[in-house]
Chains A and B, each alone.
Chain A
Amino acid sequence: MSEILRVEGLSKTFTLSKKQQKIERTSDRRKVAVGNLSFTANSGEIFGLLGPNGAGKTTTLRMLSTLIKPDSGDAILDGCSVVSDPEGVRSKIGFLTSELKLEDFFTPNYLFDFFSRLHQVPEEVSEERKRNMFARFGIDKFAEVKVKNLSTGMKQKLSLVISLVHNPEIIIFDEPTNGLDVLTARTVTDYLHELRGEGKTIILSTHIFSLVERLCDRVGIIIDGHLTHCGTLDEIRDGLTLEDRFFEIYKEQKGEEL
C-alpha cells in the first residue's frame, strides 16, 4: 500500500471572543485547536481519528478538506498541498460532515448533476454513476422529489452520494454515523467497507469506540489538539479493549479522572 496522505506539523489556533472565553472558562484569548499534528495514511486503508469532543478532530478534517487554512504545517493529499493547491485537493477528496447541507429546494437528480458539473465529471460517466449510486442507496425512487420532502435518513444518504459524485480516491468523513438512525448508520458503515475494498482511502473522525474497532485499520488518538498515539488498532489497544486503553491514555495526558 502506498502513502496517499501525509500530514506534517499541522497547527491551528483560534482567537476566542469574550463570549467564547466565558464558555471555555479561560482568560486566554487564543486557543490551540490543533498543535503540530503529523500522521500518514496509505491508500486502501481506513484511518480513524479518535478523541473526545473539542479535541481537534473536526478542525483537522476541515484543514484537510481546505475549508479552513492551517496556521502552519501542511498536508499532502494524493500529491496536492492543502496550502498551495487547495483546488487540487478538493478535486481529489470527498468530504462529508453533518454541517454540510443540501439546498432543499432541488431534487436529488438535479443536485447530483449540479455537483457533477462542479467536479467536471463527464456527462456519460456522471449518468452511469448516478444510476448506480441512486440504486445502491434506494434514492432512485425519490430522484425527482425535492430534498425538503425527503425523510431525514434519505437526506443523509443523498448527502453521502453527493459528496462522492466524482468518485474520489480519498474520502474524509467527520463523525460519519453521527445523528443517523440505526438503519442509515449501518448502510453507511457497510458502504465504507465497500469503498475500502475498492482501494479508496478513508479518513474519519469519531468518538465511538465500536465504530473504530469495526472499521479502522489504523487509529490516531487526539487529545487537546495533539496526536498522542498513532498506529494499528492492535498497537493502540496494547492488549486492552480500545475503550479501556483510550481512558488510560486520556488519564495519562490530562492527569485527571474522566
Chain B
Amino acid sequence: MKSNTWTIIKKEFARFFGDRQIVFTAVIMPGLLIYIIYSLMGTGIQSMMSKGAQEVVTMRVENMPTSLAPMLSALDSNIALVEQPFSDEDIAMLDDKELNIVMLRFPERFDSILVSPADTTAIPNIEIYYNSTNNASNRVYTIVSTMLNNYGRPFTVNVPQQEGQRFDQASDESIGAMIWSKILPMLIIMMLFSGVMAIAPSAIAGEKERGTIATLLVTPMRRNELALGKIVSLSGIALLSGVSSFIGIALSLPKMIQQPGTGSEAGIHPDTAGDIFAFHYTTSDYLVLLLVIFASVLIMASAISLLSALAKDVKNAGTMVTPFMLVVMLAGLIPMLQDGVSENIVTYFIPFYNSIEVMAAVFSHDMQWTPVAVTLASDLAYAGIAVWGLTRMFNSEKVMFGK
C-alpha cells in the first residue's frame, strides 16, 4: 500500500518535471511575476510620489497665524508660501487641474482663540482648498492637513460650515474621469483577453488536435488567406464578447460604487457618487475607445493565434498563453501606478501598453490624436506581421504536423 502510494507520487513528479513548460508556468513564473509586479508597483508609486514632490506648489494663506507660520514655512522646500487673502472666485480657479495651488484659510484672530479658547463659542475651523486630481496639490493638502490634525489643539480642519461647501475643487467629472482612467483600462483588457482566450486556442490548436486543419490545408486556398481569415474572425467574435463585458462593466460599476458605505469609504459622498461615476464622454471619445478596443482585440487574437499554432493541442495552447496573459494583465495595472498618461510618443509603439495608455487618456479627458494614430497604425502593422507569421506557420510542416 505504502509503496504504491510512493509509486504514484514518483509518477506524478516525473510527469510534472518532465514537462518544462508546466514547470515554468507553475513553479518559476509565479515567483517571477510577483517579483516583477511588486517591483513595478514600488517603482511606479515611488515615481508618482517623487514626480509630485518635485513640483513647486503655491500655498496662499489667509490670516496666517504667527504661532503656525514657522511650521508652515518649514514644511517642504517645494511649497511657496504666499500670505494673501482669497475670494470665492480665486477658489474656483482650483478647478483647473493644471494649477499647482493650495489655499489655506485660518479664522481671524486664530492665535488668540488658541490661547483663550473660552473667548469663542465655536470651535475654530481651518479651510484647505485643493484639487485632488492634481497630484502636487493633493500631496500638499495631505502634508498640511496631517500637520494640522496632529497639532494637538482644539480646532478642526475642513469641516463644512455651510450647505454644499466643498474643499476639494476637483469637479465630479474630473474625479470620475481619474477613477475610470485607473480602473477601466485593466478591466477592459482583461475582458477582451478572456474573450479571445475562450475561442482562439480552439480555433487553431483545436483544429490541429482534431485533424481538421489538414483538411483545410489541402484546398487551393492560400495560406495567407487562411491566416487572415482566422485572425479577423477571432477578433470579431472576441470583440462581441468584449463589448458585452464592457457594457456590463459600464452599467454595473456605478451601482457597485453607490452601495451604502462604499462611496464614503472611497472618500466620496454617497449622494454625489452617481454624478462622479456618470460617463461624461463625447462621441469622439467613444469612437476612439471602440477603435482602440478593436486594435487591442486584433493584437490579442494575433498573438494567441501564433501561440496556438505553435501548440500541439488546446491544453498545450492554454499553458503557452498563460505567461502572455499575465504580462497583459501587468500592463493593465500601469495606469494605476502612474500619474497621468505617457507623453513619450515612442511608448505608443509598444503593443497592449499603447492601448491601455490611450484608453486611460480617453477616460481622463487627456486624449490627443497623435498617440491614438500611432497606436492604431502600429497595432495594424503588428497584426499584419502576425498574419505573415501565421502564414509561415501554416506553411511549416514542422509546426502543423510535428509531433
Contacts and interface: CB of A to CB of B under 8 A. Distances in A.
Interface of A: 17, 20, 65-69, 87-88, 90-91, 93, 95, 99-104, 115, 118-120, 162-163
Contacts of B214: 67, 99-101
B397 A119 contact: no
A103 B210 contact: yes
B218 A87 contact: no
B210 A100 contact: no
A102 B220 CA distance: 17
Given A68-B401, A99-B211, A119 B217 contact: no
Contact of A87 (B210, B220, B397, B400): B220
13 contacts: A65-B218, A66-B218, A67-B217, A68-B397, A68-B401, A69-B397, A87-B220, A87-B221, A101-B212, A101-B215, A118-B221, A120-B220, A162-B215
Interface in B213-271: 214-222
- Pick the most buried of B220, B221, B401: most chain A CB atoms within 10 A of its CB: B220
Given A99-B214, A100-B211, A101-B211, A115 B219 contact: yes
A135 to B, nearest CB: 23
Nearest to A97: B214
A69 B401 CA distance: 12
Contact of A90 (B218, B397, B400): B218
B210 A67 contact: no
A86 to B, nearest CB: 9
Nearest to A63: B397
A122 to B, nearest CB: 15
A102 B218 contact: no
Nearest to A103: B212
Given A67-B397, A68-B397, A69-B397, A90 B210 contact: no
Given A65-B218, A102-B212, 20 more contacts: A17-B403, A20-B403, A66-B218, A67-B217, A67-B218, A67-B400, A67-B401, A68-B401, A87-B220, A90-B219, A93-B218, A99-B211, A99-B214, A100-B211, A100-B218, A101-B214, A103-B212, A104-B210, A118-B216, A118-B219
Contacts of A69: 397
A164 to B, nearest CB: 12
- Pick the most buried of B219, B400, B403: most chain A CB atoms within 10 A of its CB: B219
